[in-house]
Amino acid sequence: MISYLKGKVILKEKKFIILDVNGIGFRVFLAQKAIEKIPKIGQTIEIFTVLYLKKETIELYGLLSAKELEVFEVLDKISGIGPRIALALSSLGSLEEIKRIIETQDKKFIEQTKGIGRKKRQMIILELTGKTKELNKKEPFLKDEAFQALVALGFSQRDVREVLSKIPKDIKETEQRIKQALKFL
């Protein structure tokens, strides 16, 4: 896989750059925000990359930092989010920032990701909620007895997370939480 490139920018377009790495030109797609940060033609840059294979083509997506790469990889795994939307979103900041931007329907989000409807926004928020908790190790659901019991019954982790997050905070007993969750599931 091609995970990192260091080379000279030989062409800078609206959605991609061509990077000369030892005489080989790589077309690397970047977010608009990242394109603006790319130095002038002829200067050397370093970027992290993700190789994306499609039936007809092979595409290379570039990110300016390891943090953006991590965010891209999380977003790209969300159902219905392709690499181009993941690329645009990853340039907006950390997972927490992206979640906040989507929840508040920030203009940056709407400008960067035209074509994402209400349902897809909700799905992204749900997925990011789970991922930010995983990455930051804040209240992992895996320690929650209600979560474990519902997953053991055959419900998907994603559905269980969503339902448990809707249960009022004043219901603390595991048995009561499971009963409430089963009503939604």
Q: Residue 176 pLDDT > 50, yes or no?
A: yes
Evaluate whether the domain defined by 4-63 bears CATH number 2.40.50.140. Answer: yes
Amino acid at 164: L
Q: Residue 163 pLDDT > 80, yes or no?
A: yes
Domain ranges of the chain: 4-63, 66-136, 141-184
CATH superfamily for 66-136 is 5' to 3' exonuclease, C-terminal subdomain (1.10.150.20)
**What angle do the packed helices 157-166 and 145-152 form, to 10 degrees?**
140
Q: What is the pTM of this model?
A: 0.61
Residue 139 has what pLDDT? 44
Average pLDDT over residues 105-120: 64
List all residues 6 or more positions away from 66 whose beta carbon is below 8 Å from its beta carbon: 48
Residue 138 has what pLDDT? 41
Average pLDDT over residues 91-110: 68
| Separation between Cα atoms, residue 36 and residue 38, nearest integer Å | 6
